Structure 1
Amino acid sequence: MFAEIITIGDEILIGQIIDTNSAFIAQELNKIGVSVYQISSVQDDRAHILKALREAESRSDIVIVTGGLGPTKDDITKHTLCEYFGDTLVENHEVLLHVEEIFKKYISSPISELNRQQAWVLSRAEVLHNEYGTAPGMWIQRNGKVVVSLPGVPFEMKHLITTKVVPRIIEGFKRPFIVHKTMITYGMGESAIAEILEPVEVRLPSEVKLAYLPSLGSVRLRLTGKGPDKDQLNALVQSEANKIKALLGNLIYGEDGGEPIEELVANLLIQKNMTLGTAESFTGGRIAQKITSIPGASAYFKGSVVSYATQTKIEVLKVPQALIEQYSVVSAQVAEAMASNLRALLKTDFAIATTGNAGPTKGDADVEVGTVYIAIASPKRVIVEKYLMGSQRDRVVQKSVNKAFELLQKEILKL
């Protein structure tokens, strides 16, 4: 079965706020086997809303609308729904008492007629009590289809979705099961992975689909199964996942819903009773930030030197000036010295070092923008890898942070 989501509000369309409501609703619907066919954002405009409702109801079993239920004149959702369903607004006594109670308890200004109008609902709608706000939700059913109107305030909407809407959908509609399994890879691009997985893809069962979701430094592989038998579906998706794992091996470092790579690294360090430090230049402390965001990081992380300036590399990390003059501050030799000297300075088992040119200008190094070197110093050796990460500054930094964790994980596993 299909659902559509319509968010109403000029503030979304002009970029004043980000529509997080649709993402939450889609996730909750997916959990119960309802596929989202389309998501739309429309203006606070009667004709636009009517058109969106007509199109959505023609395609889907459930239409969920958020926004436009406030007390001001630009909030026209209720009146437009009345027109769409040929209905009228009536005052709901329970909602009115709730609105008056909210004003009495929490709002110092007197309740106005506009506020009381929050208790007006469609006469044929089933009211969904909104205990956290003044605008109730409405469940409107006709011809076997449902239109649900919800407030746009995220925490009010979320509560109504989880406590009112989802339980009613489960009770009133027969739904298939949807099963997802997502594996996360590092170290290879989308097209290269697709070539390796071609033997699996061409033989996928009709109930299962494979999607590639590339991001900075990693590719998520999402298997989705859809069918009437949950146990059979789980077994089918797991069987295809096993085939993918057999082909990709160590390229897969984890699964969605599992630990991010920095937590996997943290757990490895804890298991081996080993420590880590970082010497960061162009990454500006981003690696350290990811590490220290994990509770208990002090057990294995000793600290970081953000040696953004060349002089800091010389004075704090003791990188020889002659080495910089000979090879450039962005070089394998400098990255190696940074990692080795940081490891000695902080007395750690491992050290990560980054030096590079993230742009937009060349800075102290006469190298191409996007050139980066990442070094990992371990008890046994120092490795240095060179990468060309492109020309967009934020992407260069984030891709490098991800790559640093990937390299570190591989070195830890070798001990």
Structure 2
Amino acid sequence: MTAEIITIGDEILIGQIVDTNSVFISKALNEIGISVYQITSIQDDKAHILEALEEAKSKADIVLITGGLGPTKDDITKHTLCEFFEDELVRNDEVLQHIEELFAKYVTTSPISEMNRMQALVPSKAQILMNEYGTAPGMWMEKEQTVFISMPGVPYEMRGIMNGHVIPKLQKEFERPFIYHKTILTYGMGESSIAMKIEDWENNLPPTIKLAYLPNFGKVRLRLTGKGQNKEEVVNAVDTYAQKLYPIIGDIIRGIEGESNIVTQIGELLVARGHKLAAAESCTGGRIAAQITQESGVSAFFNGSAVTYAVQSKIDILGVSKKLIDQHSVVSTEVVEAMARGAQNIYHADYAIATTGNAGPTKGNSDVEVGTVFIAIATPKGIISKDFNFGQPREKVVNKAVTKAFEMLLEEILKNSK
């Protein structure tokens, strides 16, 4: 069973807003065994909408539409749906009552207008999906064995209709296969190198299991997807083949998405040993700390971080010697190691990560090549540091530095645990 998502709105096409609706809808459909065949964004134009609906009808079993259901003249989805279904708008008394109740309860600044009441006009052939959080209802319509579901573009209104009406109705109306994803997180090896190492394993995957490589800034996610009618068989098959990866590339596997990742592994090791972690960040600008604190319970091992972006802050906060900076440059082995020691001391930590570098696009306070990053890890037994050149652009440099810092830290924790 396949679905297409159509988002209507010029604001998406000109980049004024990000289309988060399609992400939510895709995940919700996937969880109940419906595959999204295509996502289409179109403008608020009748001809364009009609063309998209006709094309979707020929390809998908279910078409989900968001946007264009407001009370203003530029919201034309309902009128266009009427043309597509050869229908007409009629007043729905249940929707009108809901609109009047919303205004009476929540809107005190202005009275309900005739324009607001027009939200109760819906195609006569539509099944109404009540919108608990707004005035524009969702609508369920069918044409030539294809289901069309229209919802408002306001994200929280759309989510309410999806969770409260669309997903339960789809589950009731259609038989669907079970889809199961397992995504393995790897660090420190490129996509092509991994593909070469697991080539034989990949060639032996059954037709019911698909592998996708998802590379991103120094890490690669390996997503295994199984599909079938029997949930237990699908899960067991995917889990079995996932386990077969560990003897091949277990040295670079750093967790399972949604279950564990490199930060949770680091945290578990530190907590088990009663150790604490700190960070001193320059070129990474606090992203290491931000990634750590995305996880719950990190106060059990993470004492804090100093974002010492300016040269003087490295001196004032971390105690890095001005003479050392003048002698070796702010982007150097000597300075990054001093930063790590400073963070280790001021936060009373057993381990500390430090970063300094030139992320670009200009050289700033150092003459080192753009893309150069120095990373240091202070440990109970000493300090190690490495320098890298992550190229360009700036976002790539910063993200690869964060990934490499965690990789180095985990390696040192494991080394010091032996």
TM-score, normalization by structure 1: 0.94
Taking a change above 3 Å as real, the CA distance of residues 330 and 15 of structure 1, as seen in their structure-2 partners, is same
- Alpha-carbon distance in 2 for matches of 1:309, 1:391: 22
Taking a change above 3 Å as real, the CA distance of residues 228 and 313 of structure 1, as seen in their structure-2 partners, is same
**Aligned residue type for 2:228:** G
TM-score, normalization by structure 2: 0.94
Residue aligning to 1:209? 210
CA shift, 1:91, in A, is 0.9
**Aligned residue type for 2:335:** V
CA shift, 1:323, in A, is 4.4
Residue aligning to 1:115? 116
- Alpha-carbon distance in 1 for matches of 2:186, 2:115: 54
Residue aligning to 2:93? 93
- Alpha-carbon distance in 1 for matches of 2:102, 2:347: 57
When the two structures are aligned, how many residues end up with a matched partner?
A: 415
Residue aligning to 1:195? 196
Residue aligning to 1:52? 52
Unmatched tracts of structure 1, length 5 or more: none
- Counterpart check, 1:174 vs 2:205: no
Partners of 2:318 and 2:343 within 8 A in 1: yes
Question: What secondary structure does 2:407 align onto?
Answer: helix
Q: Deviations over 1:86-140 (max 9, x none)?
A: 1111111111111111111112322222211111111111111112111111111
- Counterpart check, 1:238 vs 2:239: yes
- Alpha-carbon distance in 2 for matches of 1:85, 1:269: 62
Residue aligning to 2:310? 309
CA shift, 1:199, in A, is 1.1
- Alpha-carbon distance in 1 for matches of 2:46, 2:352: 61
CA shift, 1:295, in A, is 4.5
**Aligned residue type for 2:26:** A
Question: What secondary structure does 1:121 align onto?
Answer: strand
- Alpha-carbon distance in 2 for matches of 1:394, 1:357: 12
**Aligned residue type for 2:124:** S
Q: Deviations over 1:353-408 (max 9, x none)?
A: 11211112222322111111111111123221221111212221122112112211
- Counterpart check, 1:106 vs 2:106: yes
CA shift, 1:314, in A, is 4.5
- Alpha-carbon distance in 2 for matches of 1:14, 1:308: 34
Q: Deviations over 1:315-335 (max 9, x none)?
A: 554445554455433222332
Residue aligning to 1:133? 134
Taking a change above 3 Å as real, the CA distance of residues 312 and 156 of structure 1, as seen in their structure-2 partners, is closer
Taking a change above 3 Å as real, the CA distance of residues 148 and 346 of structure 1, as seen in their structure-2 partners, is closer
**Aligned residue type for 1:41:** S
Taking a change above 3 Å as real, the CA distance of residues 40 and 362 of structure 1, as seen in their structure-2 partners, is same
Residue aligning to 2:343? 342
Residue aligning to 2:384? 383
Question: What secondary structure does 1:75 align onto?
Answer: coil
CA shift, 1:143, in A, is 2.9
Question: What secondary structure does 1:250 align onto?
Answer: coil
**Aligned residue type for 2:114:** E
Residue aligning to 1:366? 367
Taking a change above 3 Å as real, the CA distance of residues 311 and 246 of structure 1, as seen in their structure-2 partners, is same
Residue aligning to 1:225? 226
Unmatched tracts of structure 2, length 5 or more: none
- Counterpart check, 1:34 vs 2:56: no
- Alpha-carbon distance in 2 for matches of 1:130, 1:366: 59
CA shift, 1:296, in A, is 4.3
- Alpha-carbon distance in 1 for matches of 2:73, 2:24: 28
**Aligned residue type for 1:221:** L
Residue aligning to 2:262? 261
- Alpha-carbon distance in 2 for matches of 1:202, 1:141: 42
Residue aligning to 2:143? 142
Taking a change above 3 Å as real, the CA distance of residues 312 and 69 of structure 1, as seen in their structure-2 partners, is closer
Partners of 2:85 and 2:143 within 8 A in 1: no
CA shift, 1:64, in A, is 0.7
Residue aligning to 2:10? 10
CA shift, 1:260, in A, is 4.1
**Aligned residue type for 1:224:** T
Taking a change above 3 Å as real, the CA distance of residues 55 and 333 of structure 1, as seen in their structure-2 partners, is same
Question: What secondary structure does 2:204 align onto?
Answer: coil
Q: Aligned residues: percent identity?
A: 58
- Alpha-carbon distance in 1 for matches of 2:379, 2:284: 20
**Aligned residue type for 1:9:** G
CA shift, 1:6, in A, is 0.5
Residue aligning to 1:19? 19
- Alpha-carbon distance in 2 for matches of 1:29, 1:103: 33
Taking a change above 3 Å as real, the CA distance of residues 309 and 149 of structure 1, as seen in their structure-2 partners, is closer
Taking a change above 3 Å as real, the CA distance of residues 106 and 383 of structure 1, as seen in their structure-2 partners, is same
- Alpha-carbon distance in 1 for matches of 2:15, 2:286: 30
- Alpha-carbon distance in 2 for matches of 1:316, 1:24: 43
- Alpha-carbon distance in 1 for matches of 2:310, 2:232: 57
- Indicate the larger mover: 49-58 or 14-23: 14-23
Taking a change above 3 Å as real, the CA distance of residues 407 and 46 of structure 1, as seen in their structure-2 partners, is same
Residue aligning to 2:276? 275
CA shift, 1:336, in A, is 2.5
CA shift, 1:309, in A, is 3.3
- Alpha-carbon distance in 1 for matches of 2:69, 2:314: 58
- Indicate the larger mover: 42-51 or 282-291: 282-291
RMSD over aligned CA atoms reads 1.9
- Indicate the larger mover: 244-253 or 78-87: 244-253
Residue aligning to 1:61? 61
Question: What secondary structure does 1:30 align onto?
Answer: helix
- Indicate the larger mover: 347-356 or 31-40: 347-356
Taking a change above 3 Å as real, the CA distance of residues 271 and 102 of structure 1, as seen in their structure-2 partners, is same
Question: What secondary structure does 1:59 align onto?
Answer: coil
Question: What secondary structure does 2:40 align onto?
Answer: strand
Partners of 2:185 and 2:261 within 8 A in 1: no
